[in-house]
Amino acid sequence: MNDREFVLTLSCPDGRGIVAAVANLLAEHGCNITESQQYGDHYTGRFFLRTQFIAEARPGAGPIGEDGLRAAFAGLAAALPAPAEDGADPATEWRLWRRDRRPRTLVMVSKFGHCLNDLLYRWRSGLLDADIAAVVSNHPDLEFLAGSYGIDFHHLPVAPESKRDQERRLLELVDSYDVDLVVLARYMQVLSEDLCTKMSGRIINIHHSFLPSFKGARPYHQAHARGVKLVGATAHYVTADLDEGPIIEQEVTRVDHTHSPEQLTAIGRDLESVALARAVNWHAQRRVLLNGSKTVVFR
């Protein structure tokens, strides 16, 4: 990747000629498309597009720069289908990224370290398309793990009377580390509505897929007592509605009567790690577009 490779994402009211308009604009500015995906949602009337391209040298001129591309796409967006008059259909939304700009990520964790360990390993191995800038926890237990990877660890304990101050300190860390994405890697605290609003679309959570059936402590023991036949995990964006944000990825496997609660827990932790890593990578690659209460994922 270099500073001439870009990703464009676009969401707008559906209509004819959108793909052609984007392709023609890129061709006119000497850009070569290397990957393109699109989807029109019949139910919402929205069109979604992700295009990856390289800005190449033009006859008599060098490649177009990022500022020139932004100006060109702004003009294109203004010419795309207009929103409905009743305001139910929002206007065109588009974003442009350089592919070499890896999202800076802050990982939050409590006492279970399987998802954190998996993310750190993938990051160190070059398998994660995001850079882990720091780890934050409401417990000190996993400081050794972050330290073994050379990652800053911040212990921010939380209690009902200190929750506001703890979240204020968290936002200060987001600013100081220039964080693009927060990942809740089994962080066992509920974020405030204010924090969810400020970080909308920038926080990913993972949880077991038994919700809402088996809430509270020891969910795998509850599931074992009910004889579940499926174990899974869900990665989603965080909203003020607890564990109900737009889903990015889910993973599942079959189990049976021979599995103990401990075995179910171990299986679930593996699934959580895989689903979360996929969600983080797809977000980092700008493959996830919000579509109301759900997502479009261009894998």
Summarised one tens digit per residue, pLDDT across range 148-203 is: 999 999 999 999 899 999 999 999 999 999 999 999 999 999 999 999 999 999 99
Banded pLDDT at 263 (limits 50, 70, 90): very high
Which residues are identified as catalytic? Answer: 243
Higher pLDDT, 175 or 89: 175
For the ranges 58-72, 155-169, 281-295, the lowest mean pLDDT is seen at 58-72
Pairing of strands 230-237, 46-55: unpaired
Q: What is the pLDDT of residue 223?
A: 87
pLDDT tens for each residue of 105-119: 999 999 999 999 999
Q: Which two tokens stand for residue 257?
A: 């009567």
Pairing of strands 181-184, 152-155: unpaired
Q: What is the pLDDT of residue 213?
A: 75
- Alpha-carbon span 155 to 4, nearest angstrom: 39
Banded pLDDT at 270 (limits 50, 70, 90): very high
Burial class (CB in 10 A: 0-12, 13-18, 19+), 168: exposed
Mean predicted confidence (pLDDT) in 116-132: 98
- Alpha-carbon span 240 to 198, nearest angstrom: 11
Q: Decide if pLDDT at 37 tops 70.
A: yes
Q: What is the pLDDT of residue 187?
A: 96
Please state the pTM of the whole predicted model: 0.93
**DSSP structural state of residue 83:** P
Banded pLDDT at 3 (limits 50, 70, 90): confident
Q: Decide if pLDDT at 24 tops 60.
A: yes
Yes or no: say if 138 and 110 are a contact pair by the CB < 8 Å rule: yes
Burial class (CB in 10 A: 0-12, 13-18, 19+), 42: exposed
- Alpha-carbon span 56 to 69, nearest angstrom: 12
Mean predicted confidence (pLDDT) in 62-83: 89
- Alpha-carbon span 144 to 269, nearest angstrom: 20
Q: Decide if pLDDT at 84 tops 70.
A: no
Q: Decide if pLDDT at 134 tops 60.
A: yes
Domains in the chain: ranges and CATH: 5-98 (3.30.70.260), 104-297 (3.40.50.170)
Q: What is the pLDDT of residue 69?
A: 96
β-pair partners for 231: 253
Q: Decide if pLDDT at 212 tops 80.
A: no
Q: Which two tokens stand for residue 138?
A: 């409401």
- Alpha-carbon span 164 to 169, nearest angstrom: 9
φ, ψ for residue 97, nearest 5 deg: -125, 145
Q: What is the pLDDT of residue 244?
A: 85
- Alpha-carbon span 201 to 195, nearest angstrom: 11
Alpha helices in the chain (DSSP H): 18-28, 66-79, 114-124, 143-148, 163-176, 193-198, 219-225, 261-284
- Alpha-carbon span 266 to 49, nearest angstrom: 38
What is the number of helices (H) and of strands (E) in the chain? 8, 13
Q: Decide if pLDDT at 79 tops 80.
A: yes
Q: What is the pLDDT of residue 210?
A: 73
pLDDT tens for each residue of 219-246: 888 889 999 999 999 999 999 887 789 9
Task: Show the beta-strand stretches assigned E in 14-117.
Answer: 31-41, 46-55, 93-98, 104-109
Q: Which two tokens stand for residue 231?
A: 């174990």
φ, ψ for residue 263, nearest 5 deg: -65, -40
Q: Decide if pLDDT at 20 tops 90.
A: yes
Q: What is the pLDDT of residue 73?
A: 96
